[in-house]
Structure 1
Amino acid sequence: MAVPVLSPCLLFLLLQLLSAPPSHRAAAEYAEYTCNGTTGNFTSGSAFAANLDRLIAELPGNASASPSLFASASVTGSASNTDTAYGLALCRGDMTDARACRACLADAFAQLRRLCGVDRDATFYADLCTARYSGGDFLRLTADGVDNSPVVNGMDANASTYPGWDPGNATSRSFFLSLVGTLFGEMSMYGAYNSSRHRRLATAVMFINAGLPTVYGLAQCTPDLAPAQCWHCFQGLGELNRQWYDGREGGRISGVRCGFRYEGYQFYQGTPDVRIGLHGGPSSSSPEDNGTDASNHKKVVVIALVVPIALVCGLLVAGLLLVRAQRKRARKTRLPTTQTHSRNSSKAEEALKLWRIEESSSEFTLYDFAELAAATGDFSDENLLGKGGFGPVYKAS
């Protein structure tokens, strides 16, 4: 049996195709649907069927025409609330083509009608849009939260796991859960409180080190949610993420009101809103950028070490300045005593001069201390005559 031999050129091209990054490969389009069955069934030709047909005919156009790429509505054809059809349509927030948005939603609703038949509650998740209809009012917003059901675990079973992932190792699991948790946490905060009200969207890129791929993420709420409601919805996904995450490099959790996705390549349009471990302009997933990213990561570490050292040095300098200031205050405190002493000495000298002037013009004679000591026998008691108003009186020998 002859064995086919590939030419070097053909082999090279084949290797290039196999080694192409995921963002350059034709990926299978994501699709998840659920026929919930929580509100029962309907019959063809019923009032509910007519209301549902009208609803899903209007929602794709309304959503694609909106700046938020979102629309929700209810259709009641009669006085009976049991015949009301409720619906929601949302396109992914990074989309710029309204026609692609409308086409995605129209296809999603059409597939639901075909796949779920007469179920009164059905949901379809696609890469670029989300569609749901129901006979129950899932659109109602309450202070306690929002109805994000049905929530689907969309972890990519075909994606490889991160290097070093070991589901049986608690340390490994905690480390990678913290990575995804950091990415999702930053996106949740931005999407709920800092993003445009029209789209409640956050895109992100995160670099850890050269040993791990750069991770890209997207999180979005329906634009009709208030910031606190969006944040609360995201928190529910965070809990599910800790339960469902299995170390894969790509995955998603899809919900009607909020959802998120992450991959090892940039799957969304535009530059990321949130950058973690990166600095400067828009990032790339190419390996060449890992050197720059690693350098920036080292800068962050250096800054983290320099700040405490600078703080300690600052405290030492402040302490020296404080001691110096206290010494200055102490010198200022002693200064009046020194000045008083100087002033007293000056007065004594002036008085002594005056006394000597008086001596020259009177019969009084001034003696030095040594002369007085010799004349009184060193102030002995034998020469003590008594005490006067100015002290002891001695008779000179």
Structure 2
Amino acid sequence: MSPSTNFRHSLFLLLLLLLLLLLLFSSTSLIAAQPLYDVCGTTGNFTANSTYQTNLNRLLSTLSLNASTSGFTTTTVGQVPNLVMGLALCRGDVNTTECRGCLDTASQDSQQICPFNREAILWYDFCFLRFSNQRFLGSTSNDPSILLGNTANVSSPQRFSRLLNFLLNSTLNNATGSDTRFATGEVSNYTAENPTVYGLVQCLPYLSASQCQQCVRGLFDPLPTFLEGRQGGRVLGAVCTMRYELYSFFEGAPTLRLTVPLENATSPAAPPAAAPPLAVPASGQGKKNVTGTVLAIVIPSVTAISLIFLICICYWRRRKPAPQYETEAEKIMSVESILFDLSTLQVATAFFSEDNKLGEGGFGAVYKGFLPNGQEIAVKKLLNAGQGLAELKNELVLVAKLQHRNLVKLLGVCLEEEKMLIYEYVPNRSLDLHLFDPERGKELPWGTRYKIINGIAQGLLYLHEESQIKIIHRDLKASNILLDAEMNPKISDFGLAKLFDGDQTQGTTNRVIGTFGYMAPEYAMHGKFSMKSDVFSFGVLVLEVLTGRKNSGSYDSETAEDLLSFVSIEAWEKWSGGAALEIVDPVLGDEYRGSDVLRCLQIGLLCVQENPSDRPSMITVDLMLSSETVSVQTPSKPAFCGAKSFKDVPVSDSSALPVGALEKSGTRSVAMSPNEVSISELEPR
């Protein structure tokens, strides 16, 4: 055979192999792009270009964006009758890119699979999407639920059943001990031919540990008859799910590894890839997906080719990187990709001209600027080289990891001659400039105020529960809430924020710094801070939004010196006496829904209760705000933490004073104004 013939022969074989490889990956992509199951609701339809469709499109884009960064999110858009509620959940082991891709596909599929339907539920391998015009957020019902089973059977059913129950129970315990309510596991030595069984469980993160336990255990204890003896199976539910296989189907290492003594199997088990899954509804109504048919046709035809390229596939398979633990210095050094040159910022801000100055606070000034690509930015320039640098590091480490629509986005940092942080520019400045101005207050109708309350709650919920790191803000106040072009709120200024470890619930400081009037009493008096101290500050904000009054200044009551005094004397009495609407900001007139205002007032009063354990978590607050079906408890009398409380306390009795109270007062008796001890900017970016 001539060299040219050999070359053509080799080229032909290479092209053939590439064609077969393309077929293999095309079939894999086809399978991955298909929903595992879908259920279209029965709550009615909407028309094209309607308000409901507009709200639904906004909701889907928001869910996809927020869940891809946090793994789970809930959102409500619009008002009845065009209210649409939704949630999105990604499998706990997938990365941000896979999560976003799955949810984008789900958003598109929902409009094709359930066209003009007001309700839909779609399950995918990597994600779960649900929306409805009915209030379902906070529900613990797992209906509808779907069973998917492998058609191949195990070789040792009794031993397999025991090991599976052991594996799923152990994995469930691991999941309920996690904030994400997700865990994977494996148990070794099932049989010599199939040595390992793999499992996965996941609940919606808003379920409590006991609710998650009850939901998942109901999926496998006992195992449904349909799944008995099958090599693999899963149950897809509205709030919890589980899966098991004889092969590894999740990314990265399992969170739990178990082992048992080996027993010999009687016969080898068939390869799981050759057995397409079957699906049956466990409850509710749905339509059987065509995925099983596609798998039955495509997979057998490419099984042999799959074996040839098995090594390549294993090599190319993307795995989630193992967690990396860094020191604070390493975190600072790892942000080289977002470093800004001083010269760039000088040009952007016209050399920090007074015309571009947005405001000035305790650590320096904030300037507006334009990058060469036209993007508007806000530059926080730290003048104090000591405390300013410490604040920069704190804010950089924390905020660089956070991505949420209700948090101001950190764009970069400058570490040259002067230390600066660069943020997105938020055009409508801070909430306090609108809320406490009689004329600008008219720009905040009730619908906008309600949206602001909800947005702050969702941003705070993300910090406390949904982000990869648990953060206590410690300086939540109206001047640190910025409003974008659509008046959506964004929480800013993380200079005082504290990072909590996974199991940490509270901390203590010897140096209380913050804004008096927003401080929880246990923080102001004893330096104890927790998520509940942020909840207290949120409650103060809610009451400010409702009344249009600052947490300082003169009020009608002679004895009321700050907002909490006002609440305890006037708002509390009027709410208890059924006349709470009398405290509503007069600029609203009668243009509001009384039930919504009363609900928000009750939530605000719950948040400012004196005992931290009586205050709700932000998960509960978010559910109470987004769902009228969630009951709101009756609050006790609010905490009293006014400036009057400290007027007559001797300075020498430092145990009765917040440590930060002495910073401005020297040796005088302390009669503090709300902003005297704040180290945050007094003006927005």
Q: Give the TM-score of the pair, scaled to structure 2.
A: 0.32
Query: Following the alignment from structure 2 to structure 1, what is the Cα–Cα distance between the partners of residues 73 and 69?
Result: 9
1:226 equivalent in alignment to 2:208: yes
CA deviation after TM superposition for structure 1 residue 75, in Å: 0.8
CA contact (8 A) 1:33 1:122 kept: no
Letter of the 2:69 counterpart = A
* Paired residue type of 2:155: P
* Structure with higher helix content: 1
State which of 46, 50, 53 in structure 2 corresponds to 1:46: 50
Tell me what 2:244 maps to.
Answer: 262
- Aligned mates of 2:39, 2:46 — CA distance in 1: 13
Of 42, 58, 64, which residue of structure 1 is paired with 2:62?
Answer: 58
Q: In structure 2, what is the equivalent of residue 183 of structure 1?
A: 167
Question: Which residue of structure 1 aligns with residue 90 of structure 2?
Answer: 91
Q: Over residues 44-71 of structure 1, what are the superposed CA-to-partner deviations in whole Å (9 max), with x where a residue is unaligned? A: 23332221111001111001122xx111
**Taking structure 1 as reference, are residues 246 and 278 closer, same or farther at Cα in structure 2, changes over 3 Å only?**
closer
**1:353-396, CA deviations, whole angstroms, 9 ceiling, x for partnerless residues?**
xxxxxxxxxxxxxxxxxxxxxxxxxxxxxxxxxxxxxxxxxxxx
| Count of paired positions | 236
State the one-letter code of the partner of 1:200.
R
Mapped partners of 1:176, 1:245: distance in 2: 12
In 2, Cα distance between equivalents of 1:37 and 1:272: 35
CA contact (8 A) 1:162 1:212 kept: no
Output the CA distance in 2 between the equivalents of 1:255 and 1:237: 9
Matches of 2:133 and 2:165 in 1, distance apart?
A: 36
CA distance in structure 2 between the aligned counterparts of 1:36 and 1:241, rounded to whole angstroms? 27
Q: Is the 8 A contact 1:156 1:252 kept in 2?
A: no
Alpha-carbon distance between aligned partners in 2 of 1:213 and 1:205, rounded to the nearest angstrom: 10
What letter matches 2:97 in structure 1? R
Question: Is the contact made by 1:153 and 1:252 (CA closer than 8 Å) also made in structure 2?
Answer: yes
Aligned to 2:678: none
| Alignment match of 1:132 (pick from 122, 130, 133) | 130
Deviations 1:202-245 (A, max 9, x none): 11111234254411111111222221121122122225733331
Deviations 1:313-350 (A, max 9, x none): xxxxxxxxxxxxxxxxxxxxxxxxxxxxxxxxxxxxxx
Query: What letter is aligned with 1:75?
Result: V
Moved more, 41-50 or 253-262: 41-50
Structure number with greater CO (CA < 8 Å, separation at least 6) is: 1
Q: Describe the shift of the 1:127–1:206 C-alpha distance in structure 2 as closer, same or farther (beyond 3 A).
A: same
Gaps of at least 5 residues in structure 2 are: 1-12, 21-26, 262-685
Find the aligned partners of 2:234 and 2:168 in 1 and give their Cα distance.
11
Q: Which amino acid aligns with 2:184?
A: T
- Structure 1 residue 206 corresponds to structure 2 residue 187: yes
- How do residues 123-162 of structure 1 correspond to structure 2 at under 5 angstroms? 123-141=121-139, 146-157=140-151, 160-162=152-154
Would the aligned equivalents of 2:145 and 2:235 in 1 still touch at CA under 8 Å?
yes
SS in 2 for 1:59: helix
Q: 1:48 to 1:262 in 2, by over 3 A?
A: same
- Aligned equivalents of 1:250, 1:244: Cα separation in 2: 11
Query: What's the RMSD between the two structures over aligned residues?
Result: 2.8
Matches within 5 A, 1:1-397: 28-29=31-32, 31-66=35-70, 69-76=71-78, 78=79, 80=80, 82-95=81-94, 97-141=95-139, 146-157=140-151, 160-164=152-156, 172=157, 175-192=159-176, 194-195=177-178, 197=179, 199-207=180-188, 208-210=190-192, 212-239=194-221, 241-277=223-259
**What's the offset of the Cα at 1:147?**
2.6
How much does 1:269 deviate? 1.9
Partners of 1:238 and 1:180 lie apart in 2 by: 9
For residues 148 and 115 of structure 2, the distance between their equivalents in structure 1, rounded to whole angstroms, comes to: 24
Distance 1:41 1:184 in 2: 40
Could you tell me how far apart the structure 1 residues matched to 2:238 and 2:65 are? 19
Cα distance in structure 2, aligned partners of 1:156 and 1:125: 17
Q: Deviation string for 1:228-272 (max 9, x for gaps)?
A: 121122122225733331422122111232111111111212222
Check the 8 A contact 2:165/2:221 in 1, yes or no: no
* Ranges of 4+ aligned residues in structure 1 off by more than 6 Å: none
Match of 1:318 in 2: none
Would you say the 8 A contact 1:187–1:203 is kept in 2?
A: yes
Distance 2:88 2:69 in 1: 12
Distance 1:223 1:265 in 2: 27
Q: Which runs of 5+ in 1 are unaligned?
A: 1-9, 18-24, 165-171, 280-397
Report the Cα offset of residue 73 of structure 1: 1.0
- Identity within the alignment, %: 36
1:102-131: CA deviation from partner (whole Å, max 9, x where unpaired): 111010111011111122221111111111
